[in-house]
């Protein structure tokens, strides 16, 4: 089925940087009206300097708080009377061994990555269903394969995928579509804000961000996937190989994934 974004209302969480900002830019280009949120509305507005108010609705909301999610959705409905597409994109990561990590890091990531998706989806679902729209979760390869040093991140993305797969099956005959997408490594701010063992941002990235898939390319793949009503999308060659190999050769992948992350600069696995 083909799907046009023209004059559709697209709600995107976590749009002040990275993939969320690129999703908003691309959806605007495709003719959508876009409601965006992040925790800092000044930074959020600054990310879209030249977009007029009748196309963009910026809103300050922390998706880990149910009341913020409800008020973001209600404010969008008051503004545009409908929601067609929900992109649950807001997310944070971590980098610390489980044996060292403060458990609040894991709780925090579940609150943002998993519960944020649940709260937004619950609040927006009646309108999305009325419009036979699309609910999307921005998951990760870490939602298919547990990654060392990312216990809380992987757990939150596995949980997101389980939630969305159940919801997709519940909504199978309603005309409302549910999909998740799993970007591979994509250039963004996520590794700078990733939480260390003590819950503080690590403020550095072990990767060369400009050598990774760009956020713009990732956003294009996601929006094209909505048009085609894909069930799931796994991105990058490395991501596709990881997901396939993990299904077929789980034990071998334990070693390969360990060795891959051991080679990262300052890997916590080197202890």
Ligand X SMILES: NC(=O)c1ccc[n+]([C@@H]2O[C@H](COP(=O)([O-])OP(=O)(O)OC[C@H]3O[C@@H](n4cnc5c(N)ncnc54)[C@H](OP(=O)(O)O)[C@@H]3O)[C@@H](O)[C@H]2O)c1
> What is the set of active-site residues?
153
Q: Is 134 in the site for ligand X (CB under 6 A)?
A: no
* Spatial CA neighbour of 213 closest among 205, 224, 221, 225: 221
Q: How far is the CB of 220 from ligand X (least distance, A)?
A: 14
Residues 243-262 that bind ligand X (CB under 6 A): none
- Cβ pair 40, 60 in contact under 8 A: yes
Q: Is 185 in the site for ligand X (CB under 6 A)?
A: yes
208-243: burial string, b at 16+ Cβ within 10 Å, e else: ebeebbebbbbbbbbbebbeeebebbbbbeebeebb
Q: CA geometry: angle at 25 spanning 19 and 31, to 5°? A: 135
Site string for ligand X, 31-70 (x = CB under 6 A): ------xxxx--x------------------xxx------
Q: How far is the CB of 187 from ligand X (least distance, A)?
A: 7
Q: How far is the CB of 1 from ligand X (least distance, A)?
A: 26
Token digits of residue 159: 């949980």
Site string for ligand X, 191-230 (x = CB under 6 A): --x-------------------------------------
Q: Is 101 in the site for ligand X (CB under 6 A)?
A: no
- DSSP β-bridge partners for residue 130: none
Alpha carbon separation from 42 to 11, 39, 50, 136, 177 (Å, rounded): 18, 9, 14, 26, 33
> Considering only residues 17, 161, 205, 242, which one is a binding residue for ligand X as defined by CB under 6 A?
17
Query: Measured from the CB atom, is 65 or 132 closer to ligand X?
Result: 65
Alpha carbon separation from 212 to 201, 206, 207 (Å, rounded): 21, 12, 8
Q: Is 15 in the site for ligand X (CB under 6 A)?
A: yes
- Cβ pair 19, 89 in contact under 8 A: yes
Q: How far is the CB of 254 from ligand X (least distance, A)?
A: 21
Query: Measured from the CB atom, is 1 or 114 closer to ligand X?
Result: 114
Query: Measured from the CB atom, is 129 or 245 closer to ligand X?
Result: 245
């Amino acid at each position: 089925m083909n799907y046009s974004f023209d004059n559709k209302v697209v709600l995107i969480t976590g749009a002040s940087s990275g993939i969320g900002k690129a999703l908003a830019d691309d959806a605007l280009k495709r003719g959508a009206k876009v409601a965006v949120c992040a925790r800092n509305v000044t930074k959020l507005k600054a990310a879209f300097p030249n977009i007029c108010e009748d196309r963009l609705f910026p809103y300050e909301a922390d998706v880990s708080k149910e009341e913020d999610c409800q008020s973001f959705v209600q404010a969008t409905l008051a503004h545009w009377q409908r929601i067609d597409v929900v992109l649950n994109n807001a997310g944070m990561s971590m980098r610390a061994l489980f044996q060292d990590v403060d458990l609040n890091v894991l709780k925090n990531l579940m609150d943002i990555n998993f519960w944020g998706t649940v709260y937004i989806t619950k609040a927006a679902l009646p309108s999305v269903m009325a419009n036979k729209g699309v609910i999307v979760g921005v998951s990760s390869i870490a939602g298919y394969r547990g990654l060392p040093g990312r216990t809380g991140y992987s757990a939150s993305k596995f949980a997101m995928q389980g939630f969305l797969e159940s919801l997709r099956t519940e909504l199978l005959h309603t005309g409302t579509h549910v999909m998740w997408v799993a970007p591979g490594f994509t250039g963004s701010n996520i590794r700078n804000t990733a939480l260390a063992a003590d819950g503080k941002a690590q403020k550095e990235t072990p990767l060369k961000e400009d050598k990774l898939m760009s956020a713009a390319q990732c956003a294009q793949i996601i929006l094209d996937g909505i048009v085609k009503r894909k069930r799931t999308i796994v991105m990058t060659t490395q991501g596709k190989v990881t997901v396939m190999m993990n299904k077929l050769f789980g034990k071998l992948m334990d070693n390969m994934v360990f060795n891959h992350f051991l080679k990262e600069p300052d890997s916590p696995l080197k202890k």
